[in-house]
Structure 1
Amino acid sequence: MAEGEWEKVPVRKPDRSHENAANEGEDDGSEEEPDFSDQEGFVDDITDEELLGDLLKQKPKEAVGIDSVVVVDNIPQVGNDRLPKLKNVVRKIFSKFGQITTEHYPEEGAKTKGFCFLEFSSQANAIEAAKQMNGYKLDKLHTFAVNLFSDFDKYSSIPDKWETPEIQPYKDHGNLKNWLQQADCQDQYCVIFNAGETTAIFSNTPTEALVVEERKRWTETYVRWSPQGTYLATLHQKGIALWGGEKFQQIRRFAHTGVQLIDFSPCERYLVTFSPLIDTREEPQAIIIWDIRTGAKRRGFHCENAAQWPIFKWSADGKFFARMTTDTLSIYETPSFGLLDKKSLKITGIKDFAWSPADNIISYWVPEEKENPARVTLIELPSRRELRIKNLFNVAECKLHWQKLGDYMCCKVDRYTKSKKGQFCNFEIFRIREKQIPVDSVEVKEAIIAFAWEPTGSKFVILHGESPRISASFYNIKARANVELIKCLERRVANSLFWSPMGQFVILAGLRGMNGQFEFIDTNDMTIMNANEHFMATDVEWDPTGRYVITGVSWWSHKVDNAYWVWNFQGKVLQKCTRERFCQMLWRPRPPTLLSAEQIRDVKKNMKTYSKQFELKDRMSQSKASKELIEKRQTMIEEYTKYVARLEEQWQEEKQIRLELRSGTDTDELDSHVENMEEEVIEFFLGEEITEVDEFDYE
């Protein structure tokens, strides 16, 4: 079995030899009853778990009876007259974790004792209730202490003598960051082709792509890199597999039948998987959050609506994640995976939210309701302090866009005109780093096609208008001033924007219906460096350094001309790679740099010092000489240099011997003998050129 494939259960076919024997006899008009009995001496080596694994999971299991019981302590002590009301309150709180089959409130005298027993229909419900409701604050005087009833036996039977746990063997996966130590800093990318049958990892060079790893049927659908490039995730019917290290060995597997969508936390500590096939009220399994390091399931969730993915959105540091439901924003914290402060935010009418890419700040918006205006709110976590509220009127729709560094947040607001018959658009720009977070407004009265922030700067681009009169407007945010329009490029063939990860350069792309038109623009001086076409292109991917960009025509979208092209940032085509039924291409991300901002400024300041060696390497890579020949020449030069140094050292060591042989006369100095030296000229044949001359008539 190839590495990475999930194990396939063999299925034994019934013996049909009797059918051939029946055909040899005469046809008497009646069909012989088929015989499905086993052959003599047959031994069935297939277990019930292999054939009926899914059904056996649902088989009733013998239980002690206390595994699904929780003990809720610190509830109010009430009399018989108020007991029904207390039961209704407790039942309402705990019924969201599953069906409560039995409840018991012990009494002492005329009042309850202050605790109760709740039995759920399954153990999984009881475990979830104990995990989520322990520490729940009912009112100022009562905070629940919830435990599993089985825990009392477990903790009471702990032995007094400490036994050292057995040390588990450590499995070394090697250096998972080894690709960052590559001498020439060449980035890698993953390509799926042959209609998904082949997946390969390539190392990018200016002249050709070098194969790092290639495997058949590595994934059943598509692949994903983790945010920092440590892991490659492949999807299978039975779950997810993560690969990494120098040879891309399997790091871990996560069993989730029918998985379709995945997402990583920014810190690469957790993996979120979604499957629509398996989900029960008793045990949520539609969405599962896994711990990547241990492979343990941390928590499961139900999925009411998977139309928008990811359902959970992560904070920049991976400490929090949030999901939105009707009138509720639920924020969870790690590693407990419980609600922050044990409660959700009640936000009536919430439509969308987004995390800052750099700070623990959430932005969300709610629409207008009756006399109340629409509003955009920024809140800080975990304090839940409101940093800024912006009221908006005549709002049809909003879209939240954060700049990569978290310095700015743009709220694209589609507004109705006063007559409610037309629409126009406003861009509300929040300056996050400035005092009291001031807001600038940019109005565009044409239809908006696309919007994109410069990742590392203060510029943004807006595509607006309708074909063939589409314009690209470039803006810059000035310190303590309004937003400035840098330039407007009119009549562009574009419907998408792609900024370089390092900023400054942007691609105006006309994908799919616009036949793959590309313009490469330098926004520092607003010059169009190049314009070119990759016919029917469907995808554009910048590499992490911003030096290269790949455009592709995916077989998933078009069945012809499937290939990907590698360009430099100036719009020059370097490679045209034709792969049979090319499907997907993804650059391998790089982790954040370890250099400080001051060190980065110093490198940029002294770039001319390093540019010569970089230019030399680029010329060598573009040379037609093979890598082996260059290495051979370099080795010969090094050997010659060592040989000359060794002879010079020997010559100096023998100087005293020369003086003794020549009666103390130093003949090493040649200046006194220059007049006695004769110059010798050596001629050697370089080549011969023969030119034919027409005959000349002298007469």
Structure 2
Amino acid sequence: MDKYQDNMNASPNENGYDEEPDFSDPEDYVDEISDEELLSDLLMKKPKEADGIDSVIVVDNVPKVGSERLEKLQNVIRKIFSKYGRIITEHYPKDDDDKTKGYIFLEYTSPANAVDAVSHLNGYKLDKQHSFAVNLFTDFDKYANISDDWEPPKKQPYKDHGNLKWWLLDADCNDQYSVIYDGGERTAIFWNTSAGPASIEERSRWTETYVRWSPKGTYLATFHQRGIALWAGEQFKQIMRFNHPGVQLIDFSPCERYMVTFSPLVDTKDDPQAIIIWDIYTGSKKRGFHCENTAHWPIFKWSHDGKYFARMAQDGLSVYETPSFGLLEKKSIKIQGIRDFSWSPSDYFIAYWTPEDNDIPARVTLLEIPMRTEVRVKNLYNVAECKMHWQNKGDFLCVKVDRVTKSKKVQSCNFEIFRMREKQVPVEQVEIKDSILAFAWEPAGGCKFAVLHGESPRICVSFYNVTKGKVELLKMMDKKQANHIFWSPSGQFVILAGLRNMSGSLEFIDTSDFTIMNAAEHFMATDVEWDPTGRYVISGVSWWGHKVDNAFWVWNFQGKILHKQAMERFCQLLWRPRPPTLLSAKQIKDIKKNMKNYSKQFELKDRMSQSKASKELVEKRRQMMEDFMNYRAQLEKEYEACKPVRLELRGGVDTDEFDSHIDDWDEEVIEFFVKEEIIELSD
């Protein structure tokens, strides 16, 4: 530094100019700063020495074609592989018959393009017979020079998550439910016991927004700023995390193998990140998608077993298959003007509808996947809107059709009932001229459905039954304060509820004879949730809907209130779902037939449970009485110890001894007029 300072302070030369400073390093100077520290950003762009083969990929399982079809094959290959970079060389080896050998060589402009193509297109399904096997050309040398000395892979430690179905083994068959309260600050899991909620797990800030159970109840999903966490097992340990910043919505496949997440924060043109489908078992990302419209969630709808999933595209329907997550047959189904679609809950059928277009009527179409065969088409006229409702066994499809007049006003509503199990899928029609508030099929494979129609104060509920050859009206009830229909998961029993903007009225109805078992009210109720068995139901006032009287009440299926649980800023209650029963239809039928034999042991268990509860109550009361007597004895001792002080303050007179000083007290008698009764005596 001294040398540099001297050079800078040098005097001007004879020409009047300053001498040029000498910036050379001293002979003994050692530079301790590396180029990576100073120029790390530039060194990343430094050209690397390569022999040219790093940009070459080998594509196997390519169709073997002759010269007449080669140009068409080349165009298809270019279209697929040019998405990942510019291809500068193509080579299609041929055999003696002038046919391609089934593998090709492609060269990109850079090795990065080649790596990208391998990662995205290896396993790409071109058609039913050909799926590409894509590798880097350099990998052949690497695999050819593998050492003959084999080293066994290191054994990875097995992470035991325990029994993920443990809650199904409860001896009393109690169900579980999750509760978010304290304005979202606390989350708890409870058993629903006869004595009331029994806490299993409770944590602070377990989720940042809300929670969601998987369809079969195996996993509990919690939301966080960085993504989703899944919890399971007896201790609710975290078994998987999915990194998706800003995630807002999720959905599970019915098989619980895959999870779909949506975030509006991260998305790029080349790497879709708005919607991601994850493998729950491994935590790996299976595929990402762009999202143009989040008005309807879920965007992807799954088939009943998770084998297919679909989404609406512009004038089309895109159906994907698992586990490849590729587009079915590599092309979308062209459907001009498609408005909505829905999967059958039991078969590979898709129902969709399209609106009217000039002289073309509106249509409801049943499509069979993967053949894309139209099973049934129903033409409709003067249609404003359609809503599709599947019966949970897939035996019937009800399409609610809102019809309009020429002035574009909604005039009436039709229900088109498709009989899916009958030949050529016949359609029955039910017309209701009132406005429709709610519609719901009876679960558990029932053939009944309920409709709320009309306007307040004359809201009616109508129950229909789909029999062979006709749809008959079973019962109509009027003057109902309701805007929601909640069927028991086991069928037969239904609740008509007036939620949110109504008073919170609840009517419990047995549809076997249409008796009203109970009519009650949970004022300002916002939610009604049946448990998976159909034995219990809760009504709740959520803090997200109202800021006062936040609580949930537990009822039995007959409408008898069992528990009232007030919780500070109660937000959400969700029952833990149960997987489908393993019993066959014949076994269930036999159980119902011999119910009296089974009911005896359950009645005995109920009496023992009640007896146990009585014993616990008696023991609790006995302990309270014992504590009271001990406390009383303690106070009596203190009272006797203070007697000299009392005598001194009262002039030696013990006023507590009433019998010895009775003359010192004046007796005062007070009379009260009760009533006057006049009795007439006859002569």
Please report the TM-score for the alignment, with normalisation by the length of structure 2: 0.76
Where does residue 369 of structure 1 map in the other structure? 357
Cα contact 1:75–1:143 (8 A) shared by 2? no
Amino acid at match of 1:147: V
User: 2: CA distance between counterparts of 1:399 and 1:124?
Assistant: 47
Where does residue 451 of structure 2 map in the other structure? 462
Distance 1:70 1:404, change over 3 A: farther
2:376 corresponds to 1:388: yes
2:466 corresponds to 1:473: no
Where does residue 117 of structure 2 map in the other structure? 126
Deviation, structure 1 residue 459: 0.4
Cα contact 1:207–1:621 (8 A) shared by 2? no
Query: CA offsets, 1:272-304, max 9 Å, x none?
Result: 111111111221111111111111111111112
Where does residue 541 of structure 1 map in the other structure? 529
Deviation, structure 1 residue 614: 2.2
Cα contact 1:548–1:567 (8 A) shared by 2? yes
Amino acid at match of 1:467: S
2:134 corresponds to 1:147: yes
Query: CA offsets, 1:368-403, max 9 Å, x none?
Result: 222222211112222322221111122111111111
Where does residue 126 of structure 2 map in the other structure? 135
User: 2: CA distance between counterparts of 1:219 and 1:233?
Assistant: 9
Cα contact 1:228–1:589 (8 A) shared by 2? yes
Where does residue 524 of structure 1 map in the other structure? 512
User: 2: CA distance between counterparts of 1:302 and 1:60?
Assistant: 30
Q: How does 1:478-557 map to 2 (within 5 A)?
A: 478-479=467-468, 481-557=469-545
Between 1:86-95 and 1:413-422, the stretch displaced more is: 86-95
2:569 corresponds to 1:581: yes
Cα contact 2:92–2:105 (8 A) shared by 1? no
Indicate the SS of the match to 1:512.
coil
Deviation, structure 1 residue 216: 1.2
Cα contact 1:124–1:282 (8 A) shared by 2? no
Distance 1:551 1:106, change over 3 A: same
Please report the TM-score for the alignment, with normalisation by the length of structure 1: 0.74
Cα contact 1:227–1:268 (8 A) shared by 2? yes
Cα contact 2:125–2:326 (8 A) shared by 1? no
Where does residue 215 of structure 1 map in the other structure? 203
Query: CA offsets, 1:393-422, max 9 Å, x none?
Result: 221111111111111111111122356444
Cα contact 1:197–1:217 (8 A) shared by 2? yes
Cα contact 2:449–2:463 (8 A) shared by 1? yes
Return the match for 1:612 from 600, 625, 643.
Answer: 600
Return the match for 2:269 from 260, 281, 284.
Answer: 281
| Equivalent pairs, count | 564
Distance 1:162 1:108, change over 3 A: closer
Unaligned runs of 5+ in 2: 1-40, 621-683
Distance 1:131 1:506, change over 3 A: farther
Deviation, structure 1 residue 116: 4.5
Deviation, structure 1 residue 76: 8.8
Deviation, structure 1 residue 493: 0.6
2:233 corresponds to 1:245: yes
Amino acid at match of 2:134: N
Return the match for 2:367 from 379, 395, 400.
Answer: 379
Amino acid at match of 2:494: V
Q: How does 1:635-646 map to 2 (within 5 A)?
A: none
Amino acid at match of 2:598: Y
Indicate the SS of the match to 2:187.
strand
Amino acid at match of 1:465: G
Cα contact 1:70–1:130 (8 A) shared by 2? no
Query: CA offsets, 1:616-672, max 9 Å, x none?
Result: 33344455836768999xxxxxxxxxxxxxxxxxxxxxxxxxxxxxxxxxxxxxxxx
Amino acid at match of 1:279: D
Indicate the SS of the match to 2:613.
coil
Distance 1:478 1:167, change over 3 A: same
Deviation, structure 1 residue 544: 0.5
User: 2: CA distance between counterparts of 1:303 and 1:123?
Assistant: 28
Deviation, structure 1 residue 608: 1.2
Larger Rg: 2
Deviation, structure 1 residue 572: 1.0
Distance 1:184 1:145, change over 3 A: closer
Unaligned runs of 5+ in 1: 1-55, 633-699
User: 1: CA distance between counterparts of 2:175 and 2:168?
Assistant: 8
2:579 corresponds to 1:591: yes
Q: CA RMSD in A?
A: 3.3
Distance 1:346 1:107, change over 3 A: same
Amino acid at match of 1:462: V
User: 2: CA distance between counterparts of 1:197 and 1:538?
Assistant: 20
2:418 corresponds to 1:430: yes
Return the match for 1:319 from 282, 296, 307.
Answer: 307
Deviation, structure 1 residue 473: 0.8
Distance 1:502 1:594, change over 3 A: same
Distance 1:68 1:555, change over 3 A: farther
Distance 1:378 1:158, change over 3 A: farther
Deviation, structure 1 residue 174: 0.8
Deviation, structure 1 residue 442: 0.7
User: 2: CA distance between counterparts of 1:156 and 1:71?
Assistant: 15
Cα contact 1:106–1:112 (8 A) shared by 2? no
Amino acid at match of 2:121: A
User: 2: CA distance between counterparts of 1:604 and 1:60?
Assistant: 75
Between 1:320-329 and 1:410-419, the stretch displaced more is: 410-419
Deviation, structure 1 residue 511: 0.3
Cα contact 1:517–1:535 (8 A) shared by 2? yes
Cα contact 2:390–2:396 (8 A) shared by 1? yes
Cα contact 1:397–1:415 (8 A) shared by 2? yes
Percent identity over the alignment is 66
User: 1: CA distance between counterparts of 2:67 and 2:553?
Assistant: 75
Where does residue 444 of structure 1 map in the other structure? 432
Return the match for 1:335 from 323, 334, 345.
Answer: 323
Q: How does 1:652-667 map to 2 (within 5 A)?
A: none
User: 1: CA distance between counterparts of 2:205 and 2:45?
Assistant: 38
Where does residue 663 of structure 1 map in the other structure? none
